[in-house]
Amino acid sequence: MPSDHGHADSKDGIDLNSKDRDGRTPLYLATEKGHETVVKLRLDTDRIDPNAKDNSNGGTVLWLAAANGHEEVVKLLLVKDGVDPDSKDYNGRTPLSWAAEKGHEEVVKLLLAKDGVNPDSKDNNNRTPLSWAAEKGHEEVVKLLLARDVINPD
């Protein structure tokens, strides 16, 4: 797909939400690689489904950008109408959960500032973003999460 290699060209009549065999859309592939310009071009059309989930883990483009620490892509997605900032993958994990586990401090800040994000969301194993950050030793992320009044530190 052109978006996998940083190419932003698209023409009328092309299904911008087409999926490969793994359920990945062109937007998903561009997000995975952190191609900000391509992501922006894709988001500038109302024909994009920013909440489409891939087949392997149920992740959305925001989930992917957060997990990979693509801060600028996360910013683009968080201002797009219709993007679910608290979407869950097949394991019940949110973009915040993944960013916290990976120690992406700036992405965690962006997500915590967004309405609709539950900082104490539990996944299918009853793990929270705080538990993931603590296990991985991400001290600054732990501090950010503990600063939220709604976090249960236990």
What would the mean pLDDT of 3-28 be, rounded to a whole number? 72
Residue 4: what pLDDT? 54
Residue 17: what pLDDT? 86
- Residue 106 covered by a domain: yes
- Residue 154 covered by a domain: no
Closest residue by Cα to residue 134 from 118, 145, 124, 126: 145
CA 54 → CA 22, 74, 109, distances in Å? 6, 18, 25
- Residue 8 covered by a domain: yes
- Residue 151 covered by a domain: no
| Segments forming the whole domain that contains residue 76 | 2-146
What would the mean pLDDT of 84-95 be, rounded to a whole number? 98
Query: What is the residue-averaged pLDDT of the chain?
Result: 90
Q: What is the DSSP string of 130-143?
A: HHHHHHHT-HHHHH
Task: Report how many domains make up the chain.
Answer: 1
- Residue 94 covered by a domain: yes
CATH of the domain at 114: 1.25.40.20
**CA distance linking residue 150 with residue 101, whole number of Å:** 19
More confident residue, 123 or 56: 123
| Whole-structure pTM value | 0.86
Closest residue by Cα to residue 15 from 47, 44, 62, 45: 47
Residue 5: what pLDDT? 46
Has residue 111 got a pLDDT over 70?
yes
Residue 152: what pLDDT? 66
45 phi, psi to nearest 5 deg? -110, 145
Given a contact cutoff of 8 angstroms between Cβ atoms, the answer to whether 103 and 136 are in contact is: yes
Has residue 21 got a pLDDT over 80?
yes
- Residue 63 covered by a domain: yes
Residue 14: what pLDDT? 81
- Residue 152 covered by a domain: no
pLDDT digits (tens, 9 = 90+) for 5-15: 444 444 567 88
